[in-house]
Amino acid sequence: MPPSCTHWVWAPAWAGRGGLGDETEFLYEEVLRALPTQASVLAYPGFWMRSPEHGVAWQQVVHGEQRMRFPSPLTAAGQVRCQMAVSRVADKGAGKGAIVVTRRILSDSITQMPVAIIEQTNVCRGDGGYAVGDPALSDVLPPPIPSPPAREPDRTVRVPTSAQQAALYRLNADRNPLHIDPAAARRAGYDRPILHGAALLGLVDRVLQHELQQHPNHRLGELDMRFRAPLFPGETVAVALWRTPCGVIFRCRCEQDQRDLATGSASWIQMEHHDAR
């Protein structure tokens, strides 16, 4: 796909409440700090699978996984260039869907240094069976994202979502009607519109930034997340953390009915002297 550019003057983050403390640095332009996962929406091509030329049953597409690497800190203002490509396609079989993995590299337009490497897995639930059993027509998928351990978590943070959050998130260029149109949601098998997976990713990142306060001179280096069930706007998410020597393993669970929404892992890296705040 052709490269795209985004210039942003200031980028306020969505900030949740629920024991996370002062959110001013993520909202107020005079002291603004960017969340690393905001890279997900910079130079984003939009819901490209909806274009007829791709031949995808786009009404049945859902976000399966997100893997992010952060070679450099994301500043609150700047310009990035994005190069995106479909990196893997795999057939799960007729009636089971297909997997499409896209890889995006965001680089600073001035320094040309990479800011974020994003690997997004979409589950195309209506496109299985294209390989007709030929394994040569399916790529090898990334290794599984680790599941949480059996022991009790070291910490759990409650974060409520807004009933209007999906409508607001659409301003980031994701126009999938699954997140706004009740009829489209029902056709996809849901009783009402669901929240974007990347919005839950940002919610987790906010919790991780609070956890990082215990690790001076470190920042988020990697974040992997597997989506397991839809989150509906207005529900409260309980983010459970299991600490590891260099990061955390986490689980997102809906507080209302205790369904598991997502699991994943994050790792910290030492900040360089030149890293921005």
Quote the pLDDT of residue 15: 44
The CATH code of the domain that includes 11 is: 3.10.129.10
* Residue for token pair 């479909």: 86
The answer to whether position 275 is within a domain reads no
How does pLDDT run across 162-208, given as a tens digit for each residue?
Answer: 898 888 877 766 778 888 899 999 988 899 999 988 889 999 999 99
What is the Cα–Cα distance from 120 to 226, expressed in whole angstroms? Answer: 10
In this structure, is residue 113 part of a structural domain?
yes
For residues 228-233, give the mean pLDDT: 94
Whether 275 has a pLDDT exceeding 70, the answer reads: no
Specify if 183 maps to a domain: yes
Q: Where are the alpha helices (DSSP H) in the chain?
A: 165-169, 182-187, 197-211
Q: Is 73 within the bounds of a domain?
A: yes
Inside any domain, residue 176: yes
Say if residue 104's pLDDT is above 80.
yes
Residue 276 lies in a domain: no
Q: Look up the domain containing 233 and give its range.
A: 4-270
> Considering the chain, what is the average pLDDT of its residues?
89
Distances (CA, A) of 54 to 22, 42, 86: 45, 23, 12
Dmax over CA atoms of the chain, in Å, equals: 57
Domains contained in the chain, number: 1
Q: Enter the pTM of the model.
A: 0.88
Identity of the residue numbered 77: A
Tell me, yes or no, whether 109 lies in a domain: yes
Beta bridge pairs of residue 7: 79
Average pLDDT over residues 138-144: 95
- Report in angstroms the alpha-carbon separations of 152 from 32, 160, 203, 242, 250: 35, 22, 21, 8, 11
Percent of the chain with pLDDT over 70: 90
Arithmetic mean of pLDDT, 93-98: 95
Q: Is 185 a domain residue?
A: yes
